[in-house]
Structure 1
Amino acid sequence: MAPSAEDVLALVGRAVGPSEWLVVGQDRVDAFARSVDDWHWAHNDVEVASRGPFGGPIGHAHLTLSLVPHLFASLVGFAEGEDAMFYGYNRVRFPTAVPVGSAIRMRADLVDVVDIGGGEQLTVDLTVEIDGVERPACVAQALFRHYPVRAPD
């Protein structure tokens, strides 16, 4: 049974995570470069990047951001007959580059949930961590909209 609007509204203050680790390999970085046509040497030229400021290739900042829906869905599941859709960001920062081959995971804090009539809007503080690195790869505040509807067949 899908939760009521009151159940979803009661999520304020809940912290979830961390997600499982996800390796950001060169194949993923190259696939992202193909999809957005961004072939900067820092991401896709291993030889040149090895002489650059990071000592090797790094994932695109927007690749890290594009993984947020996947990581968030692994933390917050919705029942049959409901769905959540990404609505936008209030703020996004990338304090640390993600070296190719490293693993990332995400933690989320639900800071606000409001009734929007026919659904709820969740404001979520996100932190994407890099395995073995103190500073996060990404900190963001995202907005998701939760609806008590099923995706069409």
Structure 2
Amino acid sequence: MTALRTVTSLDEIKSLTGADLGRTDWLEITQQRVNNFAGATGDHQWIHTDPERAAAGPFGAPIAHGYLTLSLVIPLFNDLLAVEGISMNINYGLDKVRFPSPVKVGAKIRLHGTVDSVEEVKANGVEMRLTFTIEVEGAEKPACVASAIYRHYA
């Protein structure tokens, strides 16, 4: 997917304050993705990696790791906003993250992003604060809600 919006300067980034960046396309969460994440992190808990045991468990199926869901914010965010013509973009961190609902293997997720604020910072940059919501197709509650901070420098 091509980014829904492109900005090419700090002034354009500043103009995004309060903007709804929209939603990405749906992304299916596969068992292979979950297994790969388990291998990368060493978190092989059965609710993630043992489909047979997980089917009889509390969620009725294996579920994605919460941190896997959170990690998908990065590539999905790139589908919402492209920042070009800037010397450096930094993922500055997170203020708050919650996982209100699990993501079962086979479910489809998408990212909804809003820009809460954009403030100038030292060294000719801006700090963008966003709210990211990972939605699960057909679910009442989101899988993840995160307050993220990015810095962009001219």
Q: Does 1:28 align with 2:33?
A: yes
Q: TM-score, normalised by structure 1?
A: 0.91
**Residues 134 and 108 of structure 1, relative CA distance in 2, 3 Å threshold:** same
Q: Is the contact between residue 43 and residue 49 of structure 1 (CA under 8 Å) also seen in structure 2? A: yes
Q: Distance between the aligned counterparts of 1:139 and 1:3, measured in 2?
A: 27
- Shift, 1:20, TM fit: 1.0
- Shift, 1:9, TM fit: 1.2
Q: Distance between the aligned counterparts of 1:16 and 1:120, measured in 2?
A: 18
1:134 aligns with 140
Q: Distance between the aligned counterparts of 2:12 and 2:37, measured in 1?
A: 37
Deviations 1:14-69 (A, max 9, x none): 00120111111000000000000000000000110000010010000000011111
Q: Is the contact between residue 10 and residue 153 of structure 2 (CA under 8 Å) also seen in structure 1? A: no
Q: Is the contact between residue 86 and residue 152 of structure 2 (CA under 8 Å) also seen in structure 1? A: no
| Counterpart residue type for residue 45 of structure 1 | D
Q: Is the contact between residue 95 and residue 147 of structure 2 (CA under 8 Å) also seen in structure 1? A: yes
Which structure carries more strand by proportion? 2
| Counterpart residue type for residue 69 of structure 1 | I
**Residues 4-153 of structure 1 correspond to what in structure 2 (within 5 A)?**
4-117=9-122, 118-148=124-154
Q: TM-score, normalised by structure 2?
A: 0.91
1:151 aligns with none
Q: Is the contact between residue 5 and residue 115 of structure 1 (CA under 8 Å) also seen in structure 2? A: no
- Shift, 1:126, TM fit: 0.8
Q: Distance between the aligned counterparts of 1:80 and 1:147, measured in 2?
A: 10
Structure 1 stretches lacking a partner, 5+ long: 149-153
Q: Is the contact between residue 19 and residue 107 of structure 1 (CA under 8 Å) also seen in structure 2? A: yes
2:3 aligns with none
- Identity between Structure 1 and Structure 2 (%): 40
Q: Distance between the aligned counterparts of 2:111 and 2:50, measured in 1?
A: 27
| Counterpart residue type for residue 91 of structure 2 | F
Q: Secondary structure at the match of 2:12?
A: helix
Q: Distance between the aligned counterparts of 2:9 and 2:110, measured in 1?
A: 29
Q: Distance between the aligned counterparts of 1:90 and 1:66, measured in 2?
A: 15
Q: Is the contact between residue 114 and residue 131 of structure 2 (CA under 8 Å) also seen in structure 1? A: yes
